[in-house]
Every structure is written in structure tokens, then in C-alpha cells.
A and B are shown apart, each in its own frame.
Chain A
Amino acid sequence: MILAQSWLEIRLALRNGEQLVLTVVIPALLLVLFGSIRVPALGSGGIDFLVPGVMTVAVLSTAFTGQGIATGFDRRSGVLKRLSASPLSKSGLIVAKTLAVACIEVMQLLLISLIGRLMGWSPSGGIGSAIVLLALGTASFSGLGLLMAGTLRAEATLAVANLLFLLLLAGGGIFVPLTKFPAGVRPLLSLLPTAALSDGLRQSFGTSHQFPLAAAVILLGWALVSIICAAVTFRWE
């Protein structure tokens, strides 16, 4: 039952052109583009700096933007009401959605790793801690996406999700290193989940082989707060 729902969510997500552009084309394009031309603002980290950032974009686009928008429209079209009248429980639906998001992310991350390898990316291990961080990041972005979808109108969700996506892309520590920002806002920006995820991934794949504890704690905090808020405020119709 849950797997059937997951599989349906994956199929519908892959069939949705706009979402496919957002989740697959944009991250891949950013990687190829920024990987092949030198953009001074992006610092000099090269491909090792870029790949974790693009992975963050992938997770952000699927768990937050894509899931938030899709759920907002599911609520408006009455699908959530229809499903809540079926034997599938609310928690079952959330598990199904999470599984669907995880599957799409695996596809995205494989594609990004592949393109990254072709462009000379060679991580020195750290796969295990990267997976932990990606899971925590997924949880926080999903929580935020569902918080938005459960409280705003579908069109407002669409607008806010895309706006936040762009703002985080620019100022969320994904592509532009936080050292490029004024010292005053740096501590605040470093608390953003995107900054924690991309810097944490950089540390994981880096040579230090240390678990990025600070990043993990920040992401865990975001996950707990956003999921609890989403669970309290979510409206099904």
C-alpha cells in the first residue's frame, strides 16, 4: 500500500516537466556550467567545492521545492482528502512521500556524482557521513516544504518555494563561500540548512575525515523544529 503510493508519487514527479527541470536539469546544468567556467565570486575551490553545493541544490529542489509545491497542489485538488478517505493512513502517506523523495534524490545524486567524476571530482571517502548529512538535510527540507504546503495556498506555496530556492542558491552558502559575505551576517548565514549541508558535505568528502558534527547538529535542529511545526499546522483540505 505504502510502496504503491510511493511508486505513484515518483511516476507523477517524473512526468511533471517543470519539476523535472527543477530537480534534474538545473542541478546538472549548474554543475556543468560552473565547473567549466571560472566565476570569480564563487571562490577557487574548483570541482571539490562545486559538487557538494550541487548536491545540496538537488536535495533542496526535491525535498523542499518539488515536494512543497506538489503537496500544496495535492491539497488544493482534493487528493489529500481522497487519500485520507482510503485505508492509507496519514503517517503512511508521509512515509510514502519520504520514500519517493529519497528515490528521486538517489537518482539525482548518482547523476551528479557521475558528471562530477567526469569533470575530475575525486572525493577522499566520507560517503557514510555524507549519507547521514543528506538524510538530515532531506528531513529538514521536507519539514520546511510540508510546513509551507500545509499552511499556504497552493499558488502562494509555488511562489514562496521558488523565491526561497533562488535566495538560498545565492546566499545560502551553496555556491558562494560564506567568507565572501560581510562578517556581520556570516554567523547567521552559516546557520541556514543549505549552508550546513553544503559545508558539511565538503568536510565529509575532504581530506580531514572528520564527521561534520556542527553541520549535523544544525540540520537536526532544523529537522526537528520544521517537522514538529508542520505536523501541528498541517491542514489536509
Chain B
Amino acid sequence: MLVGTVMSPAVQIENLIKRYGPRVAVDGFSLQVETGSIFAILGPNGAGKTTTVECCEGFRKPDFGVVRVLGLNPTRDGHRLRPRIGVMLQSGGVYPAIRAEEMLRHVAKLHAHPIDPSLLILRLALASAGKSAYRKLSGGERQRLAFALAIVGRPELVFLDEPTAGLDPQGRLAVWDLICELRDAGVTVVLTTHSMDEAERLADRLAIVDHGRVVATGTIRELTGGSASGSITFDALPNLEIDSLRSMLPSDFLVEEQPPGHYSIVGALDPQVIATVTAWCAARDVMPHGLRVGHRTLEEVFLEITGRGQRT
């Protein structure tokens, strides 16, 4: 019980394996979440995100591997863990006949030191919905209530399963603001998402998962700027003849028009390359609209790693 306790991560997963019958949902999953950070688990549908989170919450028992949450074993020490964590379910979890505000106040009463429910009702714009029976709420209202239920118990660590799925832009911003405030108050946040901008906007660190495994992990910067590679993109008239541009650039550059009228130049960027591209445009009297020089986006990294094919 020396420094180890203080420094131990909020969540530690080592080589987690979980099968449902013959199907392997999680296949040797390892990650570590530092206390007081926002950690995003990003992956396509069916990648094992929810199963992993449910193993952390104690809903599912791992077939193999070690899961420690706040230093506790979620399956064995659930009664000690539950008062300290918050859980947002992907759907439901509320009595159909109960009023939204009543449910929130009830769950607050189940905790020792809850956040004032009125505050959450105000921040999440649930005042008018709060008087209605849950079954009459819209999808967005249900989602905001589910988020409020996850944090009302003032948890040290909160698991959010797709917290902004189905929310309108205002709802997303309200939830994002609260998530950042939680982190600033020292709360550890683990969220799953397949929204790139959510992960880019919120996560201190993230893991990209696919087929039940962690395929990449790091900060956004580490994931998107790993190589010197960058991209120049712009929009112009379609069907410019790009072969001449290709011949002016080093041979390992990728130049393409996809979709028509959207041009991208990918390779090891330097100021000379940018000058070459703009000079090429100027020589053809082409205005490069929306000219952007950047690292790869998280989306590009994600698609590169998980593949572009549709999931079935």
C-alpha cells in the first residue's frame, strides 16, 4: 500500500476474453485508463465496446483475463464498487410509467452524496420532459435522462455507452460540456463512441478497437500525427488533369480526385510541396477553395485501421 495505490489506474484491463457461445466478442483486450482523464473507446458496431464496458461494470463475468476498476474486481467486489461508479446504459433502464424527474430524484436517493437533481434537470434541459412519463419522452430526452442518471450519484468514475447517440447539436454540446466539467472535477470518464468528432473533442486518450481487440491506442495527436505524413485538400472544378501535378511532386505522393471536384495530395508535406501545389493551381487559373493543410484526421486513421468495408 505505498505509492502503488495512489498511482494505480482507474481502469486496468489485461487480456480480457469474453465469448457468447461460439462467438468471441472480446478477444484479448488490454487497456489502462488514468485517473481523472477522459478515455474514449472508438470502434465500429460489434467491435466489443459494450461487452468490454459491461465487464468493467460487473454486468458480465470475463471468461479470461483481469479487469480491475478503482482497484476492485467488478464481479467479486461489486457491492463496494457500485457506490463509486456511474453507469449509462445504451437504452432503457427506466420504469415506463415513471416521470423523468421522479426517476432522477429516486436514483439520487439511492446514493450517499448525490448531485442536486434540479441542477442536472436545468443543465440538460429536462424541465418540461421531467413532468412526463418516461414512455412519452423523445429519443433525445431519454438519452439526456440516461446521462443524468449515470452522473447523479457523484461517481469517481463514470462509464458512458454512446452518450450522445441520437442527440441534437444542442444536446450534444450540453453533454460534452458536462463531461469536461466532470473531468475538471477529477472524475474519470470512460466513453464508447463511433463518433470521430466526439472522440477528437473530448478524449485525452483513446483506443481504437476492432474485432474484440485494441488495434491502436494513444492520444489524438499520437494517433493522427504518427508519421510525418499529411494531406492537402481543396475543392475546384472537376476533371483537372492531375497527372501534371503528380509529376511535379516526389514519386511517393498520392494525388487523387475523389469524389469529383475534391482533390487531395497525401505525403510528407513541407513548405515546398505547398508552394508547388498552389503554383500548379495558379498556372491553371484554378481557385483552390477550402484549401486545407493538415495531419490525417482521426477518421482517416480509423478507416485505415478498421477498413473501409461495410460491416454486416
Do B97 and A12 touch (CB < 8 A)?
yes
Identify the stretch in B86-94, B163-171, B240-248 within 8 Å (CB) of chain A at 4 or more residues: B86-94
Interface size on B, residues (CB 8 A): 26
Q: Chain B 51-85 against A: per-residue CB contact (8 Å), 1 yes, 0 no?
A: 00000011100000000000000000001001101
- Of A32-40, A51-59, A60-68, A78-86, the segment with at least 4 beta carbons within 8 Å of chain B is A78-86
Task: Name the segment of A1-9, A168-176, A211-219 touching the other chain.
Answer: A1-9
A87/B111 contact (C-beta < 8 A), A15-B97, A81-B59 known: yes
Nearest A residue to B109 via CB reads: A4
Asked whether, in the complex, the Cβ of A87 is within 8 Å of the Cβ of B83, the reply is yes
* Chain A residues, CB < 8 A from B294: none
B89 touches A78 (CB 8 A): yes
Decide: A81 and B89 in contact? CB cutoff 8 A. yes
Residues on B with beta carbons closer than 8 Å to the beta carbon of A78 = 89, 91-94
User: Dominant SS at the B interface?
Assistant: loop
* A88 B110 Cβ-Cβ under 8 A: yes
Q: Does A87 contact B59, Cβ atoms closer than 8 Å?
A: no
Q: Is there an interface contact between B107 and A86, defined as CB atoms closer than 8 Å?
A: yes
- Which chain B residues border A82 with CB–CB below 8 Å? 89, 92-94, 107, 149
Report how far A87 CA is from B58 CA in the complex, Å: 13
Closest A-chain residue to B112, C-beta based? Answer: A87
Distance between A21 CB and nearest chain B CB, rounded to angstroms? 15
Closest to A15 in B: B97
The residues of A that contact B112 with a CB separation of less than 8 Å are: 87
Asked if A79 contacts B95 (CB within 8 A), the reply is yes
Whether B107 pairs with A79 at a CB distance below 8 angstroms is: no
- Whether the pair B82, A87 counts as a contact (CB closer than 8 A) is yes
Chain B residues closer than 8 Å to A73, beta-carbon distance: 96
Question: Is A87's CB under 8 angstroms from B110's CB?
Answer: yes
**Is A74 an interface residue when CB atoms closer than 8 A count as contact?**
yes
How many Å from the CB of B266 to the closest CB on chain A? 45
In the assembled complex, how far is the CB of residue B137 from the closest CB belonging to chain A, in whole angstroms? 13
Of all chain B residues, the one with the shortest Cβ separation from A3 is B109
Residue of A nearest to B98 (CB): A12
20 contacts between A and B (CB under 8 A): A5-B106, A8-B106, A15-B97, A74-B95, A78-B89, A78-B91, A78-B92, A78-B93, A78-B94, A81-B89, A81-B93, A82-B92, A82-B93, A85-B58, A85-B85, A86-B111, A87-B110, A87-B111, A87-B153, A88-B110
Which 4 pairs show the lowest CB-CB distances between chains A and B?
A82-B93, A78-B92, A85-B87, A78-B93
